[in-house]
Every structure is written in structure tokens, then in C-alpha cells.
């Protein structure tokens, strides 16, 4: 069973690809560093709530949609 961090990583990558945007674009839209997006999508570290909120807003989904 995948960890929450792994599920969030896969979901962010999936939603970003669905929107057809790069990690760089997502970083710009969220105000986060591109390396943060890269690490998040690689499940290298668990995101904090503030990061999840920024990403959810940029991807036009709820935070709950990122962790399902």
C-alpha cells in the first residue's frame, strides 16, 4: 500500500500532466521552487499543508483531491 506521500506525489504529477503544464509552470503558479515540485512528485519528502493548499489552488482542485 502506498504511503500518503506517494499518493500525493502521484496525484500531483497526474493532475499537472492532465493540465498540460510543466513543473516549472506549476512552480511559478504556486510561488514554490521548481525543485520543491520535483521532490514532491518524487515522494522525496512529505508536503506540508501550506504547500498542498498552493498546489491545489494552482491545479484547481481541493486539497482532499490531492490526497485521495
Report pLDDT for 14: 97
Q: Is the pLDDT of residue 65 over 80?
A: yes
Query: Angle 25-40-16 (CA atoms, 0-180°, nearest 5)?
Result: 40
Cell of 41: 512528485
Superfamily, domain 4-67: lambda repressor-like DNA-binding domains (1.10.260.40)
For the chain, the structural domain boundaries read 4-67
CA atoms of 19 and 59, how far apart (whole Å): 8
Determine the 3-state secondary structure of 35 from DSSP: helix
Task: Give 18-36 pLDDT, tens digit per residue.
Answer: 999 999 999 999 999 999 9
Amino acid at each position: 500500500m502506498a504511503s500518503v506521500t506517494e499518493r500525493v506525489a502521484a496525484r500531483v504529477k497526474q493532475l499537472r500532466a492532465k493540465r498540460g503544464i510543466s513543473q516549472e509552470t506549476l512552480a511559478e503558479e504556486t510561488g514554490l521552487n521548481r525543485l520543491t515540485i520535483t521532490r514532491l512528485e518524487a515522494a522525496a519528502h512529505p508536503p506540508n499543508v501550506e504547500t498542498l493548499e498552493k498546489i491545489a489552488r494552482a491545479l484547481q482542485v481541493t486539497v482532499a483531491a490531492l490526497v485521495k
